[in-house]
Amino acid sequence: MKVAVVGASGLVGQKMLQIMSERNFPIEELLPVASERSVGKTISYNGKDYSIISMEDAISAKPDITLFSAGGSVALEYAPKFAEAGSVVIDNSSAWRMDAGKKLIVPEVNGHVLRIDDRIIANPNCSTIQMVVALKPLHDAFKIKRIVVSTYQSVTGSGKGAVDQLEGERTGKDIKKVYPHKIDMNALPHIDVFQENGYTKEEMKMVNETMKIMGDDSIKVTATCVRIPTVGGHSEAINVEFENEYTLEQVHSILEKAPGVTVVDDPSENMYPMPLSAHDKDDVFVGRIRRDETQPKTLNLWVVSDNLRKGAATNTIQIAEYMLQHSLVY
């Protein structure tokens, strides 16, 4: 496979390379791609140095698969050019997610909808991915009516700038601020930009992407997305109301068998998911499973996952693996 990675030097780009190496992704030729200012710099993969090349050179090389993590405007401009050159493109930005003609994929949830003519595929938002991996098996069993979710998102989701700002706040180093307020020892209910309706773009991604991935526009979602100074992953407190009644035994049994899910739920032993324990793992960890005693058919869950792995890079690679395993890459 000839594989291009656009945004190879960024946090997610680097994580995609790490995960392809871990999973022995079948790369015969690697094309690291970045903006003009990075052309010529080197990145390493499997102990070998590769020079970063330009978009134009990468397109001319006609990669079989192109993985994007370079922001929405770059994806909008260049993904179609790579696709026209014959590549399957998987993009981490929000650019194509809500495009009616593009698939929004979490392989465990809706990988089966992928087809050979899918040339640009969108990787969902990290906070959406972990939520639908945990909730899809419960939706299949009890049919979700409404989701109320509060997130506690690692600063790594903002990219290197925010991680640098946090480090600067802690060490006193003079670092360019990307957040309007201090991140350290704080909780910022502000991820991405505010919309007319008072919600942030991040919160509306969870609303809209969930319905598209689950294939059910009847699912109501309301979200509050909060940035916190942790590393290791995003955490989510999820309150989910079903159309049908459930038992906690059924919920545990379903989640323990669910693809991509690990249940960590024994409060008597202080066992519950945490970002530090989810860090650098690919599963979605679910715990604090308990009935909402204030209304029937409603459940509370605590869901944690590494936002750079399953929330971005691993899901992207899993989509590419799915396409290869089902002969959808020509």
The residues carrying an active-site annotation are 126, 234
Question: Of the two residues 31 and 131, which places its CB atom closer to ligand 2RA in the complex?
Answer: 131
Question: Is residue 23 part of an annotated ligand binding site?
Answer: no
Annotated binding residue at 24? Answer: no
| Token duo for residue 136 | 């899809």
Q: Which of 157, 161, 260, 171 is nearest to 200 (CA)?
A: 157
SS3 79: helix
* 170 assigned to a ligand binding site: no
The smaller minimum CB distance to ligand 2RA, of residues 87 and 123, is found at 123
Q: Write down the least CB distance from residue 157 to ligand 2RA, Å.
A: 2
From CA 199, how far away is CA 222, in angstroms rounded?
Answer: 9
Considering beta carbons, is residue 136 or 205 the nearer one to ligand 2RA?
Answer: 205
At its nearest, how many Å lie between ligand 2RA and the CB of residue 274?
17
- HSE, side-chain direction, 13 A CA sphere, residue 303: 29
CB neighbour list of residue 112: distance below 8 Å, 6 or more residues apart: none
CA–CA separation, 42 and 232 (whole Å): 27
Name which of 255 and 309 has its Cβ closer to ligand 2RA.
Answer: 309
SS3 257: helix
HSE-CB for 254 with a 13 A CA cutoff: 17
Annotated ligand binding at 10? The verdict is yes
Is 9 labeled as ligand-binding? yes
- Minimum CB distance to ligand 2RA smaller for 29 or for 184: 184
In the complex, least distance from residue 311 CB atom to ligand 2RA, rounded to whole angstroms: 7
How many C-beta neighbours within 10 Å does residue 206 have? 25
Helix, strand, coil tally for the chain in percent (to 5): 35, 25, 35
Q: Residue 154 forms beta bridges with which residues?
A: 228
Confirm or deny that 47 is annotated as ligand binding.
Answer: no
Residue number with the smallest Cβ distance to ligand 2RA: 157
Does 97 show up as a binding residue in the annotation? Answer: yes
Give least dist CB 115 to ligand 2RA, A: 27
Residue 126 CB, shortest distance to ligand 2RA, in Å, is 5
Cβ neighbours of residue 253 under 8 Å, at least 6 residues apart?
none
The residue (of 109 and 129) whose beta carbon lies closer to ligand 2RA is 129
Residue 86 three-state SS: coil
Residue 11 among known ligand-binding residues: yes
Question: What residue has token string 């919160």?
Answer: 203
Starting at the edge strand that comes first in sequence, how are the strands of the sheet with 298-305 ordered?
A: 220-228, 144-154, 234-242, 298-305, 284-291, 261-263
> Could you list the residues that contact ligand 2RA (CB under 6 A)?
125-127, 153, 157-158, 191, 202, 307
Shortest separation between residue 315's beta carbon and ligand 2RA, angstroms: 12
Buried b (16+ CB within 10 A) or exposed e, 207-226: bbbbebbbeeeebebebbbb
Enumerate the known binding-site residues for NADP(+).
9-12, 37-38, 307
Residue stretches of the annotated binding site for substrate? 153, 227
Annotated binding site: 9-12, 37-38, 97, 153, 227, 307
As annotated, the binding site for phosphate includes: 97
